[in-house]
Amino acid sequence: MRQHVNPLSKHFIDINPIPPLHEVFENPKLPLHMDVGCASGDFLFELALKNNNWNYLGIEIREKLVLNAKFKLKNKEYKNLYFSFGNANNIFYHSKNKHLFDSITSISFNFPDPWFKKKHHKRRVIQAKFIEFLANSMKKRSLIFIKTDVKDLFDYMDLTISESINFKKLVNEKFLYKDSFNPSKIQTNREKYVLMDQLEVYESIYMKI
Ligand SMILES: C[S@@+](CC[C@H](N)C(=O)[O-])C[C@H]1O[C@@H](n2cnc3c(N)ncnc32)[C@H](O)[C@@H]1O
């Protein structure tokens, strides 16, 4: 079992800003999807290969995973995929990353670390302050996707996002995935494991209004 990384550690305060998108993607004008806590990036590698009409950017706090993903990227012909290391909150907040919001069409939080103990809730990636920041930065009609097998965490994330008047919860059944960053509903590694174990998956989608 891996050790969780404490995102509030001072080790993650400084970040390397993400380069201008024309330096990392062949076509920077494509809609951009960001996956927060992308781990090894397998999910994004699959998405990027299947959907060349989207750009994908994965953020991960475990540096080794990002280095491995970047190494894998070098050996293949991906023109629409990039990885960045660091605490997602600090990456989004960084003034030199403001340019991302011109392109971000959607952001996913797939099976984020639950930090079960109450005294550790402040380590959860979704925080009211962060959601307010996204509400003020994301373009209208851009989307946030959340997914987890931990009901308590789902309720917490759902409440935190729903409390922002700038996000409207979409009724999942009516949402057309075919126009989304994941039209073929590819599963993340954690999702495959959870479904194999027949555990419940809780998910929601929110639109910036
Ligand atoms: C439970 S794993 C889920 C991985 C993947 N999304 C999936 O569904 O298979 C959560 C991931 O989020 C990363 N993570 C946790 N907090 C983070 C943060 N603040 N910023 C970026 N990544 C974070 C962890 O290192 C871990 O790889």
Q: Please tell me the distance from the alpha carbon of residue 13 to that of residue 175, in angstroms, as a whole number.
A: 37
Q: Please tell me the distance from the alpha carbon of residue 188 to that of residue 42, in angstroms, as a whole number.
A: 7
- Does position 3 have pLDDT exceeding 90, yes or no? no
pLDDT tens-digit map of 57-112: 999 999 999 999 999 999 788 999 999 999 999 999 999 999 999 999 999 999 99
Lowest mean pLDDT among 98-102, 127-131, 172-176, 195-199: 172-176
**Residue 18 included in any domain:** yes
* Radius of gyration (C-alpha) of the chain in whole angstroms: 16
H/E segment holding residue 58: strand 55-60
| Ligand 1 neighbour 188 (Cβ under 6 A) | yes
pLDDT band at 25 (very low <50, low <70, confident <90, very high): very high
CA angle 27, 33, 38 (to 5 degrees): 120
- Does position 2 have pLDDT exceeding 80, yes or no? no
| Ligand 1 neighbour 60 (Cβ under 6 A) | yes
**Residue 5 included in any domain:** no
**What is the structure's pLDDT at 95?**
94
User: The CATH number of the domain where 146 resides is what?
Assistant: 3.40.50.150
**Residue 114 included in any domain:** yes
**Residue 4 included in any domain:** no
- Does position 56 have pLDDT exceeding 80, yes or no? yes
Best residue among 122, 125, 149 to mutate for probing ligand 1, ranked by most atoms within 8 Å of CB: 125
**What is the structure's pLDDT at 75?**
79
**Ligand 1: distance of its center to the CA of 43 in Å?**
12
Question: Domain span at residue 104?
Answer: 10-208
What's the whole-number average pLDDT of the chain? 95
Query: Which of 181, 141, 133, 182 lies closest to 161 in space, CA to CA?
Result: 133
- Does position 168 have pLDDT exceeding 90, yes or no? yes
**Which of the residues 14, 35, 42, 113 is marked catalytic?**
113
In total, how many domains does the chain have? Answer: 1
Q: What is the mean pLDDT of residues 33-52?
A: 98
- Does position 117 have pLDDT exceeding 60, yes or no? yes
**Residue 2 included in any domain:** no
pTM: 0.97
